[in-house]
Amino acid sequence: MGTLLIASPSLMLVLRSRPLLGCLVSAAMLAAAATPAHAASAVTTEVVVRLSRHAPADTPARLARALGTTRARHISGRHWLIGAGRRFDPRAAIGRLRRHPGVVAVTPNQPARAAAVEAIVPNDTGLASHAGAPGGWLARQWSLAGPFGVNAPAAWELARAAGAEGGAGVTVAVVDSGVAYARRGRYRRSPDLAPQRLRRGYDFVEDDPYPNDSYGHGTFVAGIIAAAADNAYGMVGIAYRADILPVRVLDETGGSSSARIAQGIRYAVDHGADVINASIELYDPFDPLGPRGLSLTSAPEIRSALRYAHERRVVVVAAAGNLAQADVPARRLEAEIINVGGTTEHGCLGDYSNHGPGLDLVAPGGGDDAALDADATCRPGQPAGRNVAQVTFRAHRPGRFTVPSDYRGTSMAAPHVSGTVALLLAAGRLGRRPAPETVEGHLEATARDLGAPGVDRFYGGGLVDAGAALAPSPAPAL
């Protein structure tokens, strides 16, 4: 008898609440840090004079005295800096100096400041409400901007500079329990998902073109990827201007099958997805030791769908699973899939996260630290860090949106990578339509190393760093 493959979302719900650990950085602090003060007054009190090569040696001193000062300092070549005092009229003085026979040119000593771009600090409140304080998301979304987050603010600035703000123009398929994409019957659209960025998808559970979410999982995942920014509501998505293609393969209990997942992946490829997020795990319920996790690539029909996606250069990101197994995911089809484990607010592997030989990257998933003796960042047995925050709903009330505090798992980790991939593709950092293995290799090369130095079995290539991934490559040494 063959193995029965059952799919479920790679999510753990911790049915207890924890107080917030405090704001990581306030919006005011972030904005102030990115808006440097002027290095000089807007009205300069000095001029830069370029002298003729035939000017006598005492010309700088004589010019200074003529302007009522004795300050004349050599800069370089034939350029001198002359300080003219507080009552200095720069326009009048420059006009006067230009008439001097020994002067070639005169310019103000120009004010300057650091060439920093203004920080992108969305006004999202961090609550499922418009009533919260603008910028409140910073206090809750440690997974984006905290010490062990994915460095999203830096990536946003780089994406904007590349003309691809928020991942605009990229489509991410959420192969999941559907998405709260529209008002239909008892369903409502999530206020944190912009309607113009929600593509028409499909429901493989009910076999109809209405992939409404009845479970809440897919909506949460979609929010991590592409929740709207600057809508004075809720959270911010990593690729907040990317399009979302909802593909429902999980039912109202979060259950599915490998065949349905394969259908969903192929549909996403055929309907314009550039990235596919699959926060789903397979398991065998008949294992004598209890339900045992299986790699997503253990199902032949899913392997075929993954090859189909790879041939069309669609990047597939998958959750590693939540049974803390050391043999999942496997290395099978390494070029066709990016397997993502989950990390905590402390930067440790989550105690739930699978970490098999095929683990490629890790990303924030929340929860308790794993007991890794050799990892100084891990704090097993001590108070856990916070879980991942995003807007969704409870299954029994699909029209009432909230920001639950009990979502943790590799389901939350995978969309952090999918959002980063969307920014990377939109910015053209790796050229047009790069191969999936090129994208994966770049993310691993720019990831933040955790645990033992180099690639290891707990963290793979490291914690995804969106800012580093979008940063220009340094110029080669000459």
Q: What confidence score (pLDDT) does residue 331 get?
A: 96
In this prediction, residues 342-358 reach a mean pLDDT of 97
Q: What confidence score (pLDDT) does residue 431 get?
A: 95
Task: Assess whether pLDDT exceeds 50 at residue 18.
Answer: no
Quickly name the fold that domain 122-470 has. Rossmann fold (3.40.50)
Lowest mean pLDDT among 65-69, 229-233, 274-278, 360-364: 65-69
Task: Assess whether pLDDT exceeds 50 at residue 440.
Answer: yes
Amino acid at the residue 360: D
Task: Assess whether pLDDT exceeds 50 at residue 69.
Answer: yes
Q: Which residues contact 95 (CB under 8 A, 6 or more apart)?
A: none
Q: What confidence score (pLDDT) does residue 46 get?
A: 81
Lowest mean pLDDT among 89-103, 160-174, 216-230, 444-458: 89-103
In a 10 Å sphere around its CB, with 0-12 CB exposed, 13-18 middle and 19+ buried, how is residue 110 labelled? exposed
In this prediction, residues 31-50 reach a mean pLDDT of 51
Lowest mean pLDDT among 56-60, 93-97, 129-133, 309-313: 93-97
Task: Assess whether pLDDT exceeds 80 at residue 113.
Answer: no
CA distance 91 to 384: 64
In this prediction, residues 448-463 reach a mean pLDDT of 96
Token couple for 450 = 């955790």
DSSP 334: G
| DSSP state letters, 263-317 | HHHHHHHHTT-SEEEE-EEEEETT-TTS-EEE-GGGSHHHHHHHHHHHHTT-EEE
In this prediction, residues 66-83 reach a mean pLDDT of 82
Which tens digits make up the pLDDT trace of 319-340?
A: 999 999 999 999 999 999 999 9
Question: What is the average pLDDT value for the chain, to the nearest integer?
Answer: 88
Q: What does the domain layout of the chain look like in residue ranges?
A: 46-108, 122-470
Q: What confidence score (pLDDT) does residue 319 get?
A: 97
Residue that wins the pLDDT comparison between 442 and 109:
442
| DSSP state letters, 168-202 | TT-EEEEEES----S-BTTB---TTS-GGGB---E
Highest mean pLDDT among 17-31, 46-60, 109-123, 347-361: 347-361
Q: What confidence score (pLDDT) does residue 81 get?
A: 86
Cis omega before residue 329 (within 30°)? Answer: yes
The 10 Å Cβ neighbour count of residue 460 is: 27
Which tens digits make up the pLDDT trace of 189-228?
A: 999 999 999 999 999 999 999 999 999 999 999 999 999 9
